[in-house]
Chain A
């Protein structure tokens, strides 16, 4: 028997696909599947939301989770300004007759200025926002804006999207870790586009409430003017993309236009906030 030594074959056991190509194809494919799932669930939520009666919503979210949210644990006093915010919220919501919600304002200890509409009629305002607000009119517009989200039921849509996103991420097996953040970031950017229209609609509604309360809309958008404009520079642009309420010159201009169209006066006395 003859021995015929041969060199191992280089080409049989190893695929020739370039690893970078493989990575790009896999990432794009899986991101595509995830995005498709997300859009499908988001659309389903949008179809479902108008069919959820507000009574059911209030019953589901009775506010029992609030003790966690407002940090008012035993022996810890709630923010003294929450009564002022609550009172203002009541006055504003009176201009939305027959609203089906029992509105309530809660102040959350948090430096980042923000306001959020939660299911069941609970509006959370951060202490950081109250620190930066300079007049009652500014705060009224912020609250009116959040009330606008209830009118369009955006808060449920937002909740549904959040759930959908969480579901998709879990289905893909990325509860945490670097890859998850990569996809979360992409998802956040994509989600912002969805929200622009909702924000504009909520702005218009909120401004209407401010006009109904004070008889003018002067000073309402001043708070926004003091926040960084996303068109000012790169860092502002990034910050604005990440913010839940991006503020741009366009948005403020849109507010002025709405006020003009509706014949809401832009002149009037601005009331200082009675918090101190």
Chain B
């Protein structure tokens, strides 16, 4: 009987952890996407583009470095799915939405940084990703992912139309 209870705990615990991680994780993700879409619409008119140089028609009065960075972590459920994927291969779909959110959030923070500094456009936008190592598992564990967006903020006399 003891072994039955023990087994029930051994199976029930990771299983409820999975359910918990899924419910909480997907709620967080849904809310994050909602906030992302609101701000994307709000700042739609602030260009953040990848041009290396300013278009000739833009009249720049000021410029400077602007950055936006976000660190995002993966939940137990997503890691479980990715772990299964690791075995058979294929697209790690569970990480796609996490990275998508991180990229878009980083660009939004880049725009926010630019506006705070008094710029109204960003050119030469670049995105970089780095893995935040976790101290456990000899630094092989993943604590989170950073997405950094950086570029040159510009103050244009006339916003582009």
**A-to-B contact residues, CB < 8 Å:** 1-3, 5, 7-8, 13-15, 17, 19-20, 22-23, 26-27, 29-30, 112, 172-173, 177-179, 181-182, 185, 228, 235, 238-239, 241-242
Contact = CB atoms under 8 A, between A and B. Distances in A.
Contact of B87 (A17, A112, A173, A241): A173
Contacts of B15: 178, 182
B87 A172 contact: yes
Given A30-B87, A181-B14, 5 more contacts: A3-B161, A14-B100, A19-B78, A23-B80, A228-B1
Nearest to B41: A7
A19 B26 contact: yes
B84 A26 contact: yes
A169 to B, nearest CB: 12
Contacts of A8: 40, 104
Contacts of A22: 81, 93-94
A92 to B, nearest CB: 29
A185 B104 CA distance: 42
B116 interface: no
B10 A178 contact: yes
Given A5-B47, A8-B104, A185-B7, A30 B160 contact: no
Specify the main secondary structure of chain A where it touches its partner.
helix
Contacts of B26: 19
B1 A239 contact: yes
Contacts of A23: 77, 80-81, 84
B138 interface: no
A178 B93 contact: no
B91 interface: yes
9 shortest interchain CB distances as A-B pairs: A178-B14, A3-B160, A26-B84, A238-B4, A15-B93, A181-B10, A14-B97, A13-B100, A5-B44
B35 interface: no
B45 interface: yes
Nearest to A238: B4
Contacts of A15: 91, 93, 96
Contacts of A228: 1
Nearest to B57: A1
18 contacts: A1-B57, A3-B160, A5-B45, A5-B47, A7-B37, A7-B40, A13-B96, A13-B103, A15-B91, A19-B22, A112-B3, A177-B14, A178-B13, A179-B14, A181-B7, A238-B8, A242-B3, A242-B4
B58 to A, nearest CB: 9
B89 to A, nearest CB: 11
A19 B91 CA distance: 13
Contacts of B8: 238
A235 B2 CA distance: 10
